[in-house]
Structures are given as structure tokens and as C-alpha cells.
Amino acid sequence: MTNNILEKLDAVAEARKAMLPKGLEAFGMPVDEIYSATEARKGDKRILFFGTNNYLGLTFDERCLKAAHEALDHEGTGTTGSRMANGNYNGHRALEEEFARFYECQSAIVFSTGYQANLGAISGLVGAGDVLLIDADSHASIYDGCTLSGADIVRFKHNDPEHLEKRLQRLGDRAANTLIIIEGIYSMLGDQAPLKEIVEIKNRYGCLLLVDEAHSIGVLGEKGRGLVEEAGVMDQVDFVTGTFSKSLGSIGGYCVSNHPQLEQLRYVSRPYIFTASPSPAIIASTRVALKLLEEGTHLRKNLWRNVHQLYDCMQGLGYELGPNPGPVIAGVVESPAHAFDLWSKLLNEGIYVNLILPPAAPDNKALVRVSVSAAHTPADMDRICEAFTRLSQAG
């Protein structure tokens, strides 16, 4: 007798089989050895990574490694407990103080992953009877945090302030119970939110605004604080969340705010309470990375030089790209089959990028998504540009 629960998973296996040719692992590709922030080995092939979120290339920075090694030796491999119990070390509290200072905010809370930062912040801030107005292209962690909260979830068209305002008008008095959620840079097409316009609307309607800077911390703003800094509206955004797993090169997440009530999330946010706190080595490397990020004008300069080179190259080759150059550069490809073909040919050339298929990609199309790093050398950039050019010419 077949079990219905397991049958649903069999359907997933069938769908995967139909979508992807056998023998090539586009999702969860095994990496056999990692050499640096940008290079790895797969089988007998040396691979150049253009599909990580290692925007500042800090994963192998000697200062981060040294801090992590020392913490590992002195504090052990893990905390084995929640921040609410035994897992609240000096390092966790120091990192929170450093995040608060970095954003010039009153409070900061560190979470164990970036996913949990959104889950924990959103579900801790709002509840039944409240309204969440979210950009339609929000990351899964935002959708999941919204679902966990029990609040009414309403979507507005991606990056469309007018559409957002129309929804606020309909909500009437409920605007006072509304939290708007957007992202600094969106992960699929790498485009930026129209933050100034959205801040103006949220101020007019008296709601709160949360900006997820997962892809923009370290990338935008003079000190790398993200779109809130670049747009000059840091003091008008209520909550900023983000991750350590991109520009900071480790794993974890944060939420900062000038609202003193943020501190109370420690007592109501289930994703904060019911999980082990980040390991000491992670905290130690992140503390150093945050300092390097803040001082990293030269890293941002390298990153943006690389971004512009690749964006211009792909645009010149006729790729449909997102509207803003950024560390995520996604080429829209007509069909999943074409995208898979391009993805596997790039891998064959020793270049790993991300393959994005529907429904994650818009309008039944597919994306070949490239992530650029400050650690990519001019030779690396020439190599990927030449590969795209060659494959383009080959048709």
C-alpha cells in the first residue's frame, strides 16, 4: 500500500527528473575541495566560483581565520545551547554591540542564520490582527517568517510603490498595524528597492518598515551598511535584517533597530529562543569581518569594478539583465532547457554559476545567475567574459 505522504515526495522526484538531464547536478552540485574564496575542485576539474554570495571574498581572510581559530581553541566547537540558556557568551553580546554601533542604532540581535533572522524578527514583531505588506519577490525567509507570525499577509507588485500605496489606502485604519517588508537588493535579478519612495509612503501612512539587507550589506553605502545608507534614509527605517553568510563570509543573521522594543524579541521570538546560538568561531570571524567590511572601501571598489565589467559584457552580448548592475547579475534565458544548456557549458569551461528555474524564475523563463566578488581577479573577470562571449557566438 502506498503512503500518501511519501507519494508527494515521489512526485517531486519525477518533476526533477523531467526538468534536468541525468548525470548533471545543477542543484546541490558536489564540491570536492575548496581552495579559496573563488576557486574549488569538482572531480578532476578546477572550478572558478561565480555562484557564491562571497561578495567581499572574506572567507579566507587571514584575520578572520585567526580569530576563528583562537575562539575554537579557547571556547570550543559549539555553545550547545540557546541564548536564553547557556549560549549567551561575551562574543555574542559584543557582536550585537558592534552591529548597533555600525548601524548607529540602539539595539541589535544576532540570530543563528540569516533565514532565522527574518523568521525571528518578523514573527516576533507582528501577530494575529496585524498586517504584513510584502514585496511580491521577497525571499522565502520573509514569506516563512510572515506565515509563522499569524498576521494577514498581503503582497504588492515587485518594486512598485504605487501598488503598495493602493494597498495601504484599502487597509485604512489598519495601516497603524502594518509592517512593510522589502529587500535592499533582490536575490533573483539583483535589482534594488525604490527605498526613498517607500520610506516616504510608510511615513505618510504611519506604518513600520523592515528592510532586509542580506545582499546589500558590504556592497552599498560608503561604509557598506547597505541600501539604507546609500539612499540616506537609515534613520527612517524601523528595522534592518541581514545575514553573515554573504559579505561577512560566515553564517548567522541580525536585526537592528532604534526602537527599544526590539530587545523584547529575545522573549517572544521562537526562532531566536529555540535554537542553539552561533558557535564561538563563527562569532569571532564575523566580528573581524564586520570591521573589515566597514573599512572595506577598497573591497567595494574592486567589487564594483568587476560588477561593471561583467554587466557591460553581458548587456553587450544581448542578455536581458536586471535593471541595476550589482553583485548579482542574472541573465534571463528563454526556457529552462536553454538555461540548463548554458549552465552546463559554463561548467564545462570550469565556471560555476547558479541555475534558476521556474517557479523561482519569473514568467516561465529561467535565469543564469552570476555572483561577482571583490576577490575575483582581473584575469578571472576576463575569463568569464570570454566564456560568455564564446558561448554566445557559438549560438
Partner 1 sequence: MTNHQEEVLQQLCNHITENLGFGGDLQVDESLVEQLALDSVKVLNLIMEVEDEFDVTIPINALADINTPRQLAIIISDLQG
Binding residues for partner 1 (CB under 8 A): 131, 136, 147, 152-157, 166-167, 170-171, 358-359
**Among 187, 269, 277, 371, the one annotated catalytic:** 187
**Among 92, 139, 202, 246, the one annotated catalytic:** 246
Q: Which of 67, 62, 57 is nearest to 284 (CA)?
A: 67
Q: How far is the CB of 48 from partner 1 (least distance, A)?
A: 32
Q: How far is the CB of 126 from partner 1 (least distance, A)?
A: 12
**Helix (H/G/I), strand (E/B), else coil: 236:** helix
Residue with cell string 541580525:
254
Residue with cell string 494577514:
152
Residue 113 or 177 with smaller CB distance to partner 1: 177
**Among 139, 202, 215, 376, the one annotated catalytic:** 215
Residue 178 or 216 with smaller CB distance to partner 1: 178
C-alpha span between 21 and 256 (Å, rounded): 44
Please indicate whether residue 246 is annotated as part of the active site.
Answer: yes
C-alpha span between 62 and 45 (Å, rounded): 26
Residue 101 or 170 with smaller CB distance to partner 1: 170
C-alpha cell at 338: 536553454
Residue 157 or 196 with smaller CB distance to partner 1: 157
CB 139 within 8 A of CB 242: no
C-alpha span between 252 and 99 (Å, rounded): 13
The strand order across the sheet containing 351-352 reads: 33-34, 39-42, 45-49, 351-352
Q: How far is the CB of 113 from partner 1 (least distance, A)?
A: 23
Q: How far is the CB of 162 from partner 1 (least distance, A)?
A: 11
Please indicate whether residue 138 is annotated as part of the active site.
Answer: no
Residue type, 231: A
Residue 180 or 255 with smaller CB distance to partner 1: 180
C-alpha span between 182 and 243 (Å, rounded): 15
Angle at 148 (CA atoms; ends 235, 98), nearest 5 degrees: 35
Please indicate whether residue 17 is annotated as part of the active site.
Answer: no
CA torsion, ordered 378, 379, 381, 385, to nearest 10 deg: 130
Q: How far is the CB of 155 from partner 1 (least distance, A)?
A: 6
Question: What is the set of active-site residues?
Answer: 187, 215, 246
